[in-house]
Amino acid sequence: MTPDDRQRLEKFYTEALQKYGPDHPKSVHWLGLRSQLMRFDALTKIADLSGQAILDVGCGLGDLYDFLQTRFSGFSYTGIDLVPDMVKQARAKYPDANFESGDIFSMKTNYDYLLASGSLTFHVSGGPEYYYKMIRRMYRLARKGVAFNMLDQAFYTTDSDYLAYDPVEVLGICGTITSKIKLMDDYLEGDFTVYLYK
């Protein structure tokens, strides 16, 4: 990610956080709580995450941690995000979880599962190729699997803020990483989730 892209991303999310506060889904540019929870539900169906080490890539305010607590037990959770204000607020909201500033390319630790909810949609100058590199990096760090969601270009148009994807293209890219792939696209119109397994 270029310095300009990072500055745009930080501004994009910091302004939303200042406008809506740390307890509103719109602070991380979700349309509402229902769609946020539906995406979390799809993402976490990758496996039984009880007892697993989980990395939340682009964790935002850490609300996936709260969701995981309602479904699973005995897991360890780390959230990473590029936006310092998000990390600060996440630590305040969920003091029992571990949150770090950084991106996936700076991570060295392996985790059982890496999850990315809404983290591959912000429009950067590298376009989809940047996020395909992120997916490859996440897979290398995963001991068991990776799950991420994306916007479907059949329902959304790529604009100056968001990238939408062709699921067939994404599956083709993922097929160069592993043959153990599953696509979910029946939970929320315009959204799809991909699971990559080891």
Tell the CATH superfamily of the 3-197 domain.
Answer: Vaccinia Virus protein VP39 (3.40.50.150)
Given a cut of 70, whether residue 198 has pLDDT beyond it is yes
Domains of the chain by residue range: 3-197
- What is the predicted pLDDT for the residue at 12? 80
DSSP 110-155: -EEEEEESSTT-B--TTTHHHHHHHHHHHHHHEEEEEEEEEEBTTT
* pLDDT: which is higher, 25 or 90: 90
Provide the token pair at 18. Answer: 């200042």
- Rounded to whole angstroms, how far apart are CA atoms 178 and 6? 30
**pLDDT tens digits for 13-66?**
788 778 877 776 676 666 657 888 999 999 999 999 999 999 999 999 999 999
Single pTM value for the model: 0.92
- What is the predicted pLDDT for the residue at 73? 97
**pLDDT tens digits for 104-160?**
999 999 999 999 998 999 999 888 999 999 999 999 999 999 999 999 999 998 988
- What is the predicted pLDDT for the residue at 72? 98
